[in-house]
Amino acid sequence: MTSNTDTIFALSSGAGRAGVAVFRLSGSRAIVIAETLAGKAIPTRQVVFAKLRDPDDRREIDSGLVFTFEGPASFSGEDMAELQVHGSLAVIDDLSDVLIAQGARPAEPGEFTRRAFSNGKLDLAQAEALADLIDAETIQQKQQALGQLGGRLSGLAEQWRAQLLAALAPLEAAIDFPDEEDIPEQIEARSAPVIAALIETLEVFARGAEQGRRLRHGVSIVLLGPPNAGKSSLLNWLAGSEAAIVSDTPGTTRDLIEVRLDLGGVPVSLVDTAGLRELTDDEIEQEGMRRARDRAATADLRVGLFDGRDGDGSAMLSDTIGSDDFLVANKADLFDSLPKIGEQQMFSISLKTGAGTDLLLEALTRRVRELTGQADEPRLTRLRHVHAVNGAIDALSRAVTQTGEMPELAAEDVRMAIRQLDQITGRIDVEEVLGEIFSSFCIGK
């Protein structure tokens, strides 16, 4: 068990050779250690260039920049120091050894942020956002994380909390003064509408959470269609690389082939699948088709691709491709007019000549943005938030039916809803989720 008063350090700039390596220290000895190595006092929040020496034998470790931050005005809320040195493996090893010899210990994943949380520098939703920001691969993900880090979700949770406290006051008055005649009416007039309105708001946010979560994880798109439709060709074109084998042999692709794309700032996982056909004795191909259908069933979007000359090919997609999905006729270089298929919006492309591909890409990008919504709006981004909000909705739905007759029960349910919502910011004891959240951080944050 490690104590919170330990002085911790980490190579925050990440492992490996680089121009500059950034070490951070946090804890009661952070500044003392930095100043000992630098051989001089470092005023707080200033940067000083210094030769860093091993205090035991005065040997030079490296030269670099030293910063200090006196707590609580620091990221973690504790005394902190930062050492920027040359980013070679030898310097990193040498400095790490000296820091350990001086009594600092290597930080665990997320330990700086966990200390910041404990010291009230950021709440739990903001700590999660910091992890998301570090993991962000695309612009939209980054925007969502930055907003949440800036307090967008926390502000919302606090606003809901304030509304519930206001709704609680008349209920508590009814409990404290049960004999006052006009109190039940006051409650009906003052508490019930606030609670009912908040339930509606929370329901909107719970529904919208899917978009925020999708943006964090990435939108999943599955390519489906008969053999030789050009699915692997389409995957390769979208990925800009030869990720999948293309050939004129039907049944070329058997395994699921997944690539990561950035469509309009949204991360996308695009999956190529085995061609679907009715008749085959090949067990491997059958297994491939089963995997294709399974993955398609759980994807956010399906793109059905068929050879535009093949009317049956499109017909066989009708049970897997829904009205929100894409239907694409390929090989437009080989046909003049398309078979007419239902009301489905259809794209016509040629992966050979490139005709129609830009339109398809534009439409896909638009759809992916729809599926992930407004990254700059406050919203729920994790299942943890959704559970909290759903718990609050349940409690408030009970409360709203009891406000008049049983104010005690209603008040208890409102308090329960507040406790549920408090989990979002970590205002209430959430010890069991802390370990999980912070351990997903990288070392040095």
List phi, psi (to 5°) of 3: -90, 150
Supply the minimum distance, in Å, between the C-beta of residue 211 and K ion.
35
For ligand GTP, give the closer residue by CB, 227 or 378.
227
Distance CA 361, CA 221 (A): 13
| 3-class SS of residue 41 | coil
Q: Supply 425's token pair.
A: 């910011």
* Burial classification of residue 112, based on how many CB atoms lie within 10 Å of its CB (0-12 exposed, 13-18 middle, 19 or more buried): buried
| DSSP letter, residue 332 | G
Q: Which is nearer to ligand GTP, 92 or 276 (CB)?
A: 276
Strands (E), 264-377: 266-272, 301-307, 326-330, 346-348
227 is a contact residue toward ligand GTP (CB under 6 A): yes
**One residue of 140, 154, 232, 402 binding Mg ion per CB under 5 A:** 232
Which residue of 147, 275, 407, 426 would you call a contact of ligand GTP, by CB under 6 A? 275
What CA–CA distances, in Å, run from 182 to 166, 179, 195, 291, 401? Answer: 18, 9, 20, 65, 19
Q: Which of residues 188-247 bind K ion (CB under 5 A)?
A: 228
How many CA atoms, within 13 angstroms, populate the side-chain half-sphere of residue 143?
Answer: 16
The token pair that represents 13 in the structure block: 């700039």
Answer yes or no: is 248 a known binding residue: yes
Q: For Mg ion, what does the binding mask look like between residues 188 and 227, x meaning CB under 5 A?
A: ----------------------------------------
| Position among 44, 186, 252, 320 found at the interface with K ion (CB under 5 A) | 252
Residue 161 CB: number of other CB atoms within 10 A? 18
Task: Rank residues 225 and 378 by Cβ distance to ligand GTP and give the closer one.
Answer: 225
Token pair of 443, please?
């070392």
Pairing of strands 346-348, 326-330: parallel
> What does 331 interact with, of ligand GTP, Mg ion, K ion, none (CB < 5 to 8 A by kind)?
ligand GTP
Q: Which residues inside 342-361 make contact with ligand GTP, applying CB under 6 A?
A: 350-352
Binding segment for ligand GTP among 60-68, 119-127, 231-239, 314-322 (CB under 6 A)? 231-239
Which residues sit at the interface with ligand GTP, rule CB under 6 A?
225, 227-233, 246-248, 250-253, 275, 330-331, 333-334, 350-352
Binding-site members are 24, 82, 121, 228-233, 247-253, 272-275, 330-333, 445
